[in-house]
Amino acid sequence: MAVEGTLDLFKLPEILQLISQQRKTGILTVQGQQDIVAISFLNGRIVAADALNQTLEEGLSQILLKEGMIGAADLGRASAEHQSAGGRLIDLLVERRYIERSQLLAALRLQTFRLLELLLRWNQGDFKFYSGDEVSYEDGFVPIAVEELLIHAVQNAPPPEPARPTMLRPVPASPPPQPAVAAPGPEARAAAPSPRLVAVAKPAPAAAPVMVAAEAPATPRKAKLEPRLVTSAVPAWMGRVLAVLLAVLMVTVLLSAANVLMLPFPWQDREREGLARDQRAALYLKIDQAAKTWFLLKGTFPDHLQDLVAAGLLSADDLTDSEGHRLLYRPSEESYTLDPLEGGKAVPGAGATEAITGNFLLDPEFLNVPPEATVQPLVLLD
């Protein structure tokens, strides 16, 4: 299904934001008076852009030359070879090692940015969005978020001028400050080859469209230009290291001391002890029921707690308390004791002793009590 309209009714930023918010996949074509641009979206993010008046390879060649990634002589040689060998020029450039693939992708992204920024200056024309399941794009291309594009376009917008529906050449004679393309090499891949969005202090021109992202942070970004002394030395993977550290800490706490997770504050020792005590009480009750069931059949308490596990009366988890202390079990003829061990020693005040006393099914003495009163009751008479 296609959605279409004119740029008189809907501005391009609105259309792009709509596609982004709805996470659409498909192709948006915009037809001006002199050119047609097709933008490919994958889940609401831009993965390719192409113009009728300028092939991808033309635009890309200009970027590569402009950014000094390739010399004019090399480019000429490659073009000649391409004409004879066929295929795609950009594949040939990589295959013949004129440029690294990471450079190619970075240049492609920059080319897409420039094309789209020029497109955003259109205010007349027709658009049509063709929704689909998949679109084709250069493998490894880092998708461009619409918000990223719009912010970038605002920052790089030229002074206002009468709008006219024309397709400008992708590389202006004196371009606005452009994002730097990452330098080649392994570090460049790690350091996000996309254009940087930071450190540009420029008030938005009055005529520039106001871009409001769906979940735009509520704070102004970089209100004033600050000298950047160490930013370049900050590795991009730092966030990952910090995230992994936090995740590992969380998992460690969950596995080793879950009570700390729920009662985390330093002054909650008493509550943590209370919770552990209750958990231990429930565990002791479970063990007691199992041990007494064993007694019911064998007439003695088991020699080891593992016997109860083997009999299916306890699970292996029941051999340690909620704090991970192994339970020391010591049976005697009519009772047994349980003590959680910490460092080989019993935790003080945490043990329990259970006996058959008071259980009419187990305690032979329970029902054989001597009569309380064997004498006649006293009768008081006046």
Partner 1 sequence: MCRSEGSRRRLAGFALAFLLSAPAGAATVSSPQVTGVEMTPPVRRSLKALEGQWLEWVIQNNRQQAEAAVTRLLNTARQLEMKRLPDLSAGAVARALQAAHEKDFARARWALEAAERLDPGRPETAFAEAAVDWRQGAYARAVADRLRAYPRMLAHPLERYLWLQDLLIWSLALLLVTGGVFLALQMLAKGAPLYRDLADLFGRRLPPLAALAAAALALLWPLFLPYGVLWLPLYWSILLWGYASASERTVLIALWLLLGISPLLLEAQRRQLAVALSPPVRAMESLQEHRLYGSLFSDLGVLRSLLPESVAVKHLLADVHRMLNQGDLARSLYRQVLEAEPANTSALLNLGAYFFTKGDFSGAIQSFQKAAAADPGNAAAFYNLSQAYSESYMFEEQKAALQKAQDIDTALVNTWLAEQARVVTVAGGMARIPEIRRQLLASWGGREVRSGRLELFRRGLPLLVALSLVLVALALHLARRPFGYTERSAEIFPEGAVDRWGRILLPGVVAAEVGEGGRAFTALLVPIALLMLPFLGRLGVPIPWRYDPGSFLSWVVAILGLSLYFGVRLRRELRGEA
From 254, 300, 306, 333, residue interacting with partner 1 (rule: CB under 8 A): 254
Nearest-CA neighbor of 188 among 95, 71, 105, 74?
105
Of 315, 279, 317, 312, give the one whose Cα is nearest residue 294. 312
CA–CA separation, 273 and 260 (whole Å): 10
163 binds partner 1 (CB under 8 A): no
Token pair for 351: 């043990």
What is the spatial distance between Cα 213 and Cα 146, in angstroms, rounded to a whole number? 9
Distance (Å, whole) CA 294 – CA 333: 13
CA 321 to centroid of chain Cα atoms: 35
State which of residues 30, 49, 108, 144 lies at the interface with partner 1 (CB under 8 A): 144
Q: Residue 140 Cβ, how far from partner 1 at the closest point, in Å?
A: 5
What is the chain's length? 382
The pattern of x and - marking residues 7 through 46 that bind partner 1 according to CB under 8 A reads ------------------x----------------xx---
CA dist 140 and 90 (Å) reads 14
Residues 90 to 109: which contact partner 1 by CB under 8 A?
105
31/111 with CB nearer partner 1: 111
Per rule CB under 8 A, is residue 264 in the interface with partner 1? yes
Residue 141 touches partner 1, criterion: CB under 8 A: yes
Q: Report d(CA 382, CA 205) in Å as an integer.
A: 114
Of the candidate spans 65-73, 80-88, 231-239, 343-351, the one that interacts with partner 1 by CB under 8 A turns out to be: 231-239
Closest contact distance (angstroms) between CB of 163 and partner 1 is 28
212 binds partner 1 (CB under 8 A): no
Binding piece for partner 1, criterion CB under 8 A, among 53-61, 77-85, 114-122, 186-194: 186-194
As separate numbers, helices (DSSP H) first and strands (DSSP E) second, the chain gives 11, 9
- 226 sits near partner 1 (criterion: CB under 8 A): yes
Decide: 340 and 346 in contact? Cβ < 8 Å. yes
> Cβ contacts of residue 78 below 8 Å, gap of 6+?
70, 89, 92, 93, 96, 98
- Given candidates 131, 178, 268, 337, which one binds partner 1 under the rule CB under 8 A? 268
- Of 65, 168, 275, 352, the residue at the interface with partner 1 (CB under 8 A) is 275
Helix ranges (H only) for the chain are 12-21, 56-66, 72-85, 89-95, 101-119, 146-156, 186-190, 238-256, 258-262, 269-298, 305-310
Look up tokens 């391009």; give the residue.
Answer: 12
Q: Do residues 329 and 338 touch, judged by C-beta distance below 8 A? A: yes
Residue 275 C-beta: closest distance to partner 1, Å: 6
6 or 289: whose CB is closer to partner 1?
289
Q: Of residues 49-88, which lie at the interface with partner 1 (CB under 8 A)?
A: none
Nearer to partner 1, 91 or 226 (CB): 226
Which residue in the set 212, 247, 306, 330 belongs to the binding site for partner 1 (CB under 8 A)?
A: 247
Among 282, 332, 333, 353, binds partner 1 (CB under 8 A): 282
| Among 29, 194, 302, 338, interactor with partner 1 by CB under 8 A | 194
Q: Which of 73, 159, 210, 215 binds partner 1 (CB under 8 A)?
A: 215
Q: In this chain, which stretch among 4-12, 68-76, 120-128, 136-144 interacts with partner 1, using CB under 8 A?
A: 136-144
- Among positions 300-359, residues that touch partner 1 (CB under 8 A) are 311-315, 317-318, 322, 357-359
Q: What is the DSSP string of 7-31?
A: TTTS-HHHHHHHHHHTT--EEEEEE
- Nearest approach in angstroms of CB 167 to partner 1 is 26
- Going by C-alpha positions, the residue among 108, 116, 117, 114 that lies closest to residue 89 is 108
Q: Smaller CB distance to partner 1: residue 41 or 122?
A: 41
